[in-house]
Amino acid sequence: MELEKPLVLREQGDAGGAGGQVQFVPRSASMDDRDPASGCLHEKKRLPAFTWEVRANNRSYHMQFKKKFAFCLTKKKYAGNAIKTAKYNILTFLPLNLYEQFHRMANIYFVFVILLQTIPEISTLPWYTLLFPLSCLLTIRALRDLIDDIGRHQSDRNINNRPCEILSGKSFRWQKWCDICVGDIVRLRKESFVPADMLLLCSSEPSSLCYVETADIDGETNLKFRQALPVTHWELMSEGSVAAFDGRVTCEEPNSRMHSFTGTLQWRGETYSLDSERILLRGCKLRNTDFCYGLVIYAGFDSKIMRNCGKIKQKKTKLDRMMDRLVIIIFLVLLAMSLCLAIASGFWAKTFQEKHTYLSAFYKHTAPAKQAFFSFWGFAILLSIIIPMSMYITFEFIYLVNSFFINWDLEMYYAVKDIPAKARSTSLNDQLGQIEYIFSDKTGTLTQNIMSFKKCCINGTVYGPNAAHHRGQSRSGYWLWQQQEMPFAVEHGFLTTVGSGLTWSHRAEKMSDSNDVALLEAARRDSDPVLREFLRLLALCHTVMVEERGDQLVYQAASPDEEALVLAARDLGYVFLSRTQDTITISELGVKRTYEVLAMLDFNSDRKRMSVLVRDPQGTIRLYTKGADTVILERLRSRGPSETFTERALDRFAEETLRTLCLASKVVSEAEYCEWSRRHQEASILLQDRVWQLDSLYEEMEQNLELLGVTAIEDKLQDGVPETIQLLKLGNIKVWVLTGDKQETAMNIGYACKLLTDDMEILEEKEVSEILEAHWVRNSRSSSRKAPGSRCLSQQHPGTSCHKKRALIISGDFLDKMLHTGEVLMKKEGWLWQWLPCRGAMDPQEQGSLVEKAFVDLATSCQAVICCRVTPKQKALIVQLVKKHKKATTLAIGDGANDVNMIKTADIGVGISGLEGMQAVQCSDYALAQFSYLQRLLLVHGRWAYLRICKFLRYFFYKTFAGLMAQVWFAFHSGFTAQPLYEGWFLALYNVFYTAHPVLSVGLLEQDVSAKKSLEFPELYAIGQQDELFNYRIFGVTLLHGVSTSLASFYIALWAFKDCVGSKVVGDYESFSVTVATSALLSVLVEIILDTKHWTALSFLMVTASLLLFCLFSYLTQSIDAFRIAPAIFRFPDASQNALTDPYVLLVVLLSLVVNTVPSLTVRSYHAITGRRSIQQKICSKARREPEPSVELRAHVHRGSFRRRSSYAFSHQEGYAGLITRGDSLRTKGTCATGALHPQGTAPPSPSCHGPSP
């Protein structure tokens, strides 16, 4: 099915200009427009029409437009900026919450029983006695939901009430975020957040550049730049001109595509094209820019980040869903039993009337059919307590207390920032013990986004930690450098440095405190020309900006990688001081030197390198280049011993998962430069193929290089990440990394955190396409016999062993093509769709489902999956696909707003409380300060919670069946009259006081192994993944166990009471009832005692309390005084005292207890004799074997893979070199950003005469 193509603007004329005519060309829809819940495209989102028109400073224009949203209802087309993430308000809380609660089958069941109790003819208990516990249950859950929603309201209120400056009339006034409307002009100041998606009009920076940090959106702290149109930059020079601005923006409708924007600005009769480089997204933070003005394009829920947040979903655990099904099953069984007993009642009544005709007067108005009808409803009410409301109330209490245990765990308390773990949802704890897949963000979740310069190799000499033991392998020897972390680790994109006035001797004294003795001494001697050029390159070849603030230098870098290198050079005596459009000044060991910048050869993801062409003070022209080893080594002039050793150092750095850069240089002759510069100038003004021509010239210049050395930077992981991932993998949990970062960086982090290992085969997009193609070819041949399967996917790749470890690494674009349009390998004429079996009989949705399933089956067969360059909606879609096709329990963990949709989609959402804001935390179910705490959350708290809830359910059902099924057996001996066997008070208190406390202690405190053992043996976690502790089989066994206990208790007592014998001639109905009740109660308590593994003082207290409460309430409800006051309510006067003081009755109770306990002891003995080991025995056996090797942060096995070394340290975006050489990013000294944006009379700068801009 071919989609209609929307339109995208393409500018004609000068590619670098801002003006010119525009035309429209087709553009395909993206995967971002898919609904993660369904995995399908929505027609309305598929065709983003250019009908969104924004007029500056014209609120009345936007207020007049309406759009339909439900039936005939309408709302404003242009949303306000106020957001509302809460579910309820004052009016909707009660009806909406009740509606959600009655989605639980148990609540519907309880209401049904209460309605039956209101009918006097069939009622066995007053209806209000059942309404009260149901009201308590609904109230407890409603209060929990209300508390959660109040937190959302407070968060919404805090965000909506943030202050901002909005243009009102001729001046700006301080108002709130919620007051912003589409078309308003907002003034933002430094360090403030962007309140809505805005078109940048102008800023205080040169050429109206604007630096933003997107940490609150994607967790990345490196700076990104946006630039206003030149026309708005020069024309909007004051507040008055901004107030008079009446431009009109026409663009695409609001959508979720974070990295794209297409539109036009029409102003003063001219049309200017707009793209994402002109847009400031909501949630960005203004950095290194004093202030800027922006025109609001999308506000509130129309903004891109809010479009990616998804909806709040009602989450239910697997046990919750199973309980709903069990309630239905039990209810149907209950109705069947009631029907059978009612039919038997009718037959019994008919037989009785026929046999005893002399009593016909008593049955004159009671026909057998009528008797059966009322008996049916009587039995339905009598047996309804098999599903007690007290179980659900206790359920909620156990969930709440287990959540407190998570909050109180000091092992998950991050003292550095005073952040404890927090269970924000109290109803998902048991699901923490059943996780099969973890989907993790990278930046800010696995890493700290802090770059630290760790090692380097210069002219065959390695400097860095742990290098001394390799001294004999180098011509120059090794020296120990940086025993601890370097002091110039970078965070937040800037760092204040010591001013340029400091002398070299002062620096040397400062550096000696850092143990950089070897490298420091070598730099101080200044005798090695290669080392001198190496450090000079670090100080010259970069796009870092510097600003003087008093006697301080403040570096502003586009990426933490670059700043780490510049700071390393600074601390070794080569200090970057200042730059202009065509010069750069550095201090070399205290001597200031100014270099003329002839050209900057910018970085991009294809080139994987950047270069700078400079003329030194002596007039020599040099090219300095840094980049990935895969592109630098192949451009070297020659390969000698130094280069060979440097390659070995690269391998070692790669084994240590460090991000590497190769540094090289060469001398360029004057004649060569003049010729190259002329051609470069010609290529720079081309209208067509400009980028290709420039890349060819760059390639020509960057040849015959001389290798200087290698740098190694550590992208610092959070503490304990490798150990945590290793433990999770041992616990049979698969970890997928979903990141918006580039593939090289993601792979590097994958190796660093042990997600990827040396023995894994890496499947990239080409291999995935081949495997899927072979899979469909194979299945198409057998399509007539069976549906396409995926069991052979792991063997499709040539040369791949079915048991070889594999990892899958793909990009968001590849996912888009494969899952959305089926365009993978379209050069083969759409093989993917051609090989689909029965494709002629399938609709596109079914075909897409088969493609999705094949991909998911392949991905889940791999030990690790890394998805790069994925959008927030793609993250959520991947989670949804695994849930849909594998029926797996998923957990998503992230720290930024781009992770919110993924967190909401997963079964469990975990937010990291970090530096990047609180959006992820506010939408999460659990909040942690560090990724490493995940191991304790899952392997300890999650497994314990699952164990406790399963045991609680098992024994609650057991004690209910054991105690109350005797009602059914009694019916066979009471004429099927639905007469209760037990005293009414015993029925009311059995589940509330007599047996609730021991089961409650199991639900709160039970442990099979300690927390230490749980972490030491993560394999135990698989029990929850396989649903071993509570499933339909376990429920069936529990049912049979409870029925057998009730049978033994009832019929042993019936056998004993068949003849009226005993010292007190006890044989009445009341004594029989007390005997059966006591036998069942003690049998239940002994069974719980036998199966409790972890005994505490509270456990003993609970069992003791149950017995004492049974004695106490039996005495109170069966006293003579109570009977005299209300004989209709207290119907068993002195029954327990008469029965339980008779030795004969006590022997009967003892016999019942022995008969009920012997089977449990027999089963345990059988398991011990036949060798079926318990969990503790398995642990002891494993502990006696050779222990598992400890998890290490660094691997020391030689990879021998040249491709592995492609993880280079370069993470900033393309375009910074052009900004510098054009002078756009350079601020003139003394420029004061006050009052007007531009001083009156300021003219645009004239073109530079020092060299062409790239």
- The residues annotated with a catalytic role in the active site are 441
Q: For residues 501-510, b (16+ Cβ closer than 10 Å) or e, as one string?
A: ebebeebbee
Q: How many CB atoms lie within 10 A of CB 233?
A: 24
Residue 1246 per-residue DSSP state: P
Output the DSSP codes for 277-335. GGEEPTT-EEES-SEEEEEEEE-GGGSHHHHTS--------HHHHHHHHHHHHHHHHHH
Q: Which residues contact 799 (CB under 8 A, 6 or more apart)?
A: none
- In contact, 659 and 559? CB cutoff 8 Å: no
Greatest alpha-carbon span in the chain: 134
Residues 6+ positions from 784 with CB-CB distance below 8 Å: 837
- The distance of Cα 976 from the centroid of its chain, to the nearest Å, equals 57
Distance CA 839, CA 842 (A): 5
Smallest CA-to-CA distance from 398 within 945, 940, 939 is with: 945
Give the DSSP per-residue string, 687-723. SSSHHHHHHHHHHHHS-SBEEEEEEEEEEEEPTTHHH
User: Residue 373, Cα to own-chain centre: how many angstroms?
Assistant: 55
Helix ranges, 887-1010 (H):
900-905, 919-922, 933-936, 943-964, 966-971, 984-989, 996-1005
Q: Please name which of 286, 76, 304, 40 lies closest in space to residue 196, comparing C-alpha atoms.
A: 304
Cα–Cα distance for residue pair 1121/261, rounded to 1 Å: 83
How far apart are the C-alpha atoms of 762 and 749, rounded to whole Å?
Answer: 14
Beta bridge partners of 295: 185, 199
Report the Cα–Cα distance between both ends of the chain, in Å, rounded: 43
Q: How far is CA 381 from the centre of its chain?
A: 46
1065 phi and psi angles, rounded to 5 deg: 55, 50
Length of the chain: 1254
Tell me the HSE value of 563 on the side-chain side, using a 13 A CA sphere: 29
CA distance 682 to 846: 54
Cβ atoms of 1095 and 1111 closer than 8 Å: no
- Classify 256 as helix, strand or coil: coil
Q: Is the dihedral of CA 128, 133, 138, 144 positive or negative?
A: positive
How far is Cα 346 from Cα 349, in angstroms, rounded to an integer? Answer: 5
Neighbours of 527 (CB within 10 A): 9
Spatial neighbors of 519 by CB under 8 A, at least 6 apart, are 456, 463, 479, 481, 572
Task: Quote the CA–CA distance of 276 and 882 in Å, as a whole number.
Answer: 32
Q: Got the DSSP string for 818-871?
A: IIII--TTGGGSSHHHHTSTTGGG--HHHHHHHHHHHHHHHHHTSSEEEEES--
Tally Cβ neighbours within 10 Å of residue 1235. Answer: 10
Q: Is 953 exposed, middle or buried (0-12, 13-18, 19+ CB in 10 A)?
A: buried
Question: Looking up tokens 């000044």, which residue turns up?
Answer: 585
